[in-house]
Amino acid sequence: MRILIPAFLLLLLVSCASASSTAKGDVDPEVQSLATGQLLWSRCQTCHGVDGRAKTTYGAEHSVPDFTTQSWRDTRPYDELVESITNGCGPETAAGTSAMPSHGELSKEEVRALAVYILSLGEQG
Ligand code: HEC
């Protein structure tokens, strides 16, 4: 069962992972299934593209990073990805949401699976 903690979500700042960060962070050992992340990735493709390169209209309009480059991966610790996916990040859009929408509907495990999947993208070619 999913446990939602709205207060926890409200307390967190809506911001993207810092570009100056260099720590890689540890991938949660509980996450075994890349397949779970791959399945959930369908929700993200409109903006991030099937391959994570963000070669989409939205990606171009909002300078969405290419997840497959080594330079991007090197500056994004796993736990910051988790935070960005959960709470969203980026500048506010005209619609009043952050450019990268929050995904509070996902369970902790689902978000972790997505972060692991994203970090695997660059290794696919
Ligand atoms: C409506 C378009 C949209 C959707 C849908 C979307 N994203 Fe994003 N995402 C963005 C934008 C725009 C950014 C960059 C925000 C910025 O840095 O200004 C972003 C950034 C991110 C980042 C942080 C990148 C960084 O450099 O820190 C992660 C991680 C991410 N998205 C994962 C996901 C995942 C996983 C999903 C699906 C559950 C998803 N996104 C769905 C638009 C989207």
pLDDT tens per residue across span 46-90: 999 999 999 999 999 999 999 999 999 889 888 999 999 999 999
**Alpha carbons 81 and 103: distance in angstroms, whole number:** 12
Which protein residue has the closest C-alpha to ligand 1 atom 10? 100
How many CB atoms within 10 Å of residue 68? 19
Which protein residue has the closest C-alpha to ligand 1 atom 43? 100
Q: Which amino acid is at 65?
A: P
Please give all residues whose beta carbon lies within 6 A of any atom in ligand 1, as ranges. 16-17, 43-44, 46-48, 58, 62, 64-65, 76, 81, 84-85, 89-91, 99-101, 103, 114, 118
Task: Classify residue 95 as exposed, middle or buried by CB count within 10 Å of its CB (0-12, 13-18, 19+).
Answer: exposed
Question: Would you say residue 23 has pLDDT above 90?
Answer: no
Where are the domains positioned within the chain? 31-124
Look-up of token digits 């949660």:
28
Residue 92's DSSP bridge partners are 98
Which protein residue has the closest C-alpha to ligand 1 atom 37? 44
The terminus-to-terminus CA distance of the chain in angstroms comes to 36
Nearest by Cα to 85 from 54, 112, 65, 120 = 112
91-114: per-residue pLDDT in tens?
Answer: 998 889 999 999 999 999 999 999
pLDDT on residue 52: 97
Q: Which residue has the higher pLDDT, 117 or 11?
A: 117
> Best mutation site among 50, 56, 68, 100 for ligand 1, i.e. most ligand atoms within 8 A of its Cβ?
100
Residue pair 40/111 in contact (Cβ under 8 Å)? The answer is no
Which protein residue has the closest C-alpha to ligand 1 atom 18? 90
Q: What kind of fold does domain 31-124 have according to CATH?
A: Cytochrome Bc1 Complex; Chain D, domain 2 (1.10.760)
pLDDT on residue 34: 84
